[in-house]
Structure 1
Amino acid sequence: MPPPSPGSHRHRSANRLHTVLLLAGMIGLLVACGWIVAGPEGGLWALVLGGVSLAFAPRLSPQMVLGMYGAVPVRAWDMPKVTAILNELAERAGLPRTPQLYWIPSPTLNAFAMGTRGDAVIAVTDGLVRSLSARELAGVLGHEITHIANGDLWLMGLADTVSRLTRMMSLFGQILLLFNLPLLIAGAVTIPWGLILLLVLAPTIGALLQLALSRTREYDADLGGALLTGDPLALAGALRKLEQYGRGLWESLMLPNRRNPSPSLLRTHPPTEERIRRLVDLRGQLSGRPALPGIDALAQGGAPVAGRFRIVPAQPRHRLTGLWY
């Protein structure tokens, strides 16, 4: 695979710098909470506790999550074209083994990855497989494989652990403040109000940093997926369909231009329009590259890739574990 263009290097370097700064900010916030609660030793212990928790924290089994969704493993004969694309992309990404593909019986359009670099799974919904062309599906799979290759699953797990510890430390500090409130009122103990405010706001600040980190990793996965397939417009087309089908009929008819009204700071994913714009800008940078073997032949045509799986009804069914498709 040819090396990425200079523009791609700048994009990737900027995203990595953002990732380091955001993660450092989250860890610094955790240490600050520990220092406010118990002084310098508390800050050191908060850092040690974070490392220990990350090392020994129980990992949620992908099989448990997939079982909740009623996911079915996809064999090579179930979706030959899709599995061939996945194998090709995993080889280009340098993964030690191809992630196991799972099919989720749901008409919604979604895909996600779980596990580790050497033992990962990628799940796609029935609605996604039937709504996207093979070319667009290759773009989505490239995005998910980039998450795996970049270690984003581990990184976001680390960010989640740090965020949880920050909330625990903040709660413990606020409980101590309540117990010492009479002394504070009497003036026997003095604590700078700025530190108290930081302790109270720490969980919110940590959550915002975690969301910003998630958005940064999504941009990097978009870039990596485009580099793997050599076709940024494929992922851009998939994102357009995801945005379009994600709206309900009433919203599509009455409010076609209003989507995702939540503030940008509270989004786990960047705005779709911005992601598409960046992918379209990559088209010129990748246009001079030689054709990548395999994907073009596997992903030609615009017909959806359904495989042998049945069409999922639009209405969900009630099960013991909840409401599932």
Structure 2
Amino acid sequence: MGLEPSTRPWLFARMIGSFAIMSIVALTIVLFAAAVIGTAVYLAITVAFAVVRGYVLSFGGGVPGGELWGLWVSNAGPIAMVIGIVSLPLFYRDPIRAEIRRFNAEIGTTGTLATERHPEIATMARRLSQQADIAEPEVRIVNRRRPESYALGGRSNGTIVITRGVVRALEDEEIEAVLAHEVSHLANGDGRLVTLLLVPMLVAEHLGSRERPAFQFFHGLGVFAYVAHVFVWTVLTAVTTAQLLACQLGVGFLSRGREFAADRAAAELTGSPGALASALETLHDVRGRPDEDLRDFRRSAGALDILPPDEKRRASDLFRTHPTTERRIAVLRSMAGSETH
């Protein structure tokens, strides 16, 4: 199953706009991170060379490579940037990959398989996946009261996670509508797209994650070293904060459109827009604020949930990962109304 023709241009335009934003942001993050890392590595190498050079000169001998040293010092900026770009994957590739794998494992392998505890839910997912022409997803039910649902992976290796709060709060028809929404996300590859968009956000988070430096006398140069340290920390914090806001703008722009598309596709799969509207209304009413102090990545991954993590604390429309639930319900109700005429 794909998106209906009238939906494709609108969703494709949103995807292009989001990736344009994220490409610009990613480029600034790469250049800034490379400059920071390259400068640090360049200074370390320069200090080491200077110590060796001074040690040799102290014995009155000539230092080989004088021209090379001159080129090294006179081209500090370009050399530092090249060092930073080359070194950037070494600093961030493995940690970010590990964090994404850890998150997917944490969300996608917890709970109980639906085939073991709720075979009727597994049967619903199997039927919906066949209608959507994707591989049957693994469905897991997590023992958590707060109603949440996620779709991880893609068309060939998807996992749907719902909490026991969803099972308890909804009727069978509404549970099927929620599953259809998540199956639609898998069919459209939304989980992979959102994960891809989160990569530059993770780099910015890692770069700006350092706490404000505390004054300590062992800084070597005392007050001057501390002031320099605070200045660097302030610049890093200001730049990465701006980059994170831009990342959230790009993720939200794409995610809102794909939530509407998944709602519409779910209504087509079940043939009942009203069932999903009723499910969203119930989930919106019973959900409270998250009872976990989630890290930034986990908060960012709220884009994967069927509802935003904390809708009662309304974010600016530009940064929302989801359309308002009221608007989604209104669209689904209008679909249901048009089908009755």
Q: Quick check: TM above 0.5?
A: yes
Does structure 2 conserve the Cα–Cα contact (< 8 Å) formed by 1:76 and 1:83? no
Tell me how far apart the structure 1 counterparts of residues 288 and 98 of structure 2 sit (CA, whole Å): 37
- Deviation readout 1:209-229 (Å, 9 max, x if unpaired): 343344332531331342244
Instruction: Give the secondary-structure state (helix, strand or coil) at the position aligned to 1:107.
Output: coil
The total of aligned residue pairs comes to 261
- What one-letter code is carried by the residue in structure 2 that aligns with 1:29? T
Q: Highest relative contact order (Cα 8 Å, sep 6+), 1 or 2?
A: 1
In structure 2, the gaps of 5 or more residues are: 39-76, 214-218, 290-310
Alignment check: 8 A CA contact 1:163 1:207 kept: yes
Which residue, 52, 72, 82 being the options, matches 1:41?
A: 82
Check if 1:209 corresponds to 2:246: yes
Query: Does residue 261 of structure 1 match 2:300?
Result: no
Find the aligned partners of 2:245 and 2:283 in 1 and give their Cα distance. Answer: 25
Tell me the distance in 1 between the aligned counterparts of 2:91 and 2:220.
Answer: 26
Between the aligned partners of 1:235 and 1:21, the Cα distance in structure 2 is: 32
2:115 aligned counterpart, secondary structure: coil
Partner of 1:273: 326
Normalization by structure 1: what TM-score?
0.63
Q: 1:119 and 1:54, CA in 2 relative to 1: closer, same or farther beyond 3 A?
A: farther
**In the alignment, what sits opposite 1:72?**
112
Q: Deviations over 1:256-310 (max 9, x none)?
A: xxx62343256443322233344445557x849xxxxxxxxxxxxxxxxxxxxxx
SS at match of 1:4: coil
1:65–1:32 CA distance, 2 compared to 1 (3 A): same
| 1:27-176 superposed matches below 5 A | 27-34=26-33, 36-37=35-36, 38=38, 40-41=81-82, 44-45=85-86, 52-53=93-94, 57=98, 59-60=101-102, 62=104, 64-65=106-107, 71-75=111-115, 78-80=118-120, 82-95=121-134, 97-170=135-208
Q: Could you tell me how far apart the structure 1 residues matched to 2:10 and 2:312 are? A: 25
Q: Identity over the aligned pairs, expressed in percent? A: 22
Whichever residue aligns with residue 239 of structure 2, its letter is A
Q: Secondary structure at the match of 2:144?
A: coil
Contact 1:89–1:142 (Cα < 8 Å) also in 2 = yes
In structure 1, the partner of 2:286 is 245
Question: How far is 1:73 from its partner?
Answer: 0.8
Which digits, 9 at most, give the CA deviation of each residue in 1:153-191, with x for residues without a partner? 33333333322222344579x99xx999969x99xxxxx
State whether residues 178 and 276 of structure 2, in contact with CA within 8 Å, keep that contact through their aligned partners in structure 1: yes
Q: Which residue of 2 aligns with 1:21?
A: 20
Further displaced range: 210-219 or 43-52: 43-52
Partner of 1:4: 4
Q: Secondary structure at the match of 2:129?
A: helix
Partner of 2:305: none
Partner deviation per Cα, 1:50-73 (whole Å, 9 max, x = no partner): 9944895461275544666xx111
Deviations 1:22-49 (A, max 9, x none): 3213312312313543455367447756
Structure in which a larger fraction of residues adopt helix? 2
Q: Secondary structure at the match of 1:98?
A: coil
Alignment RMSD: 4.2
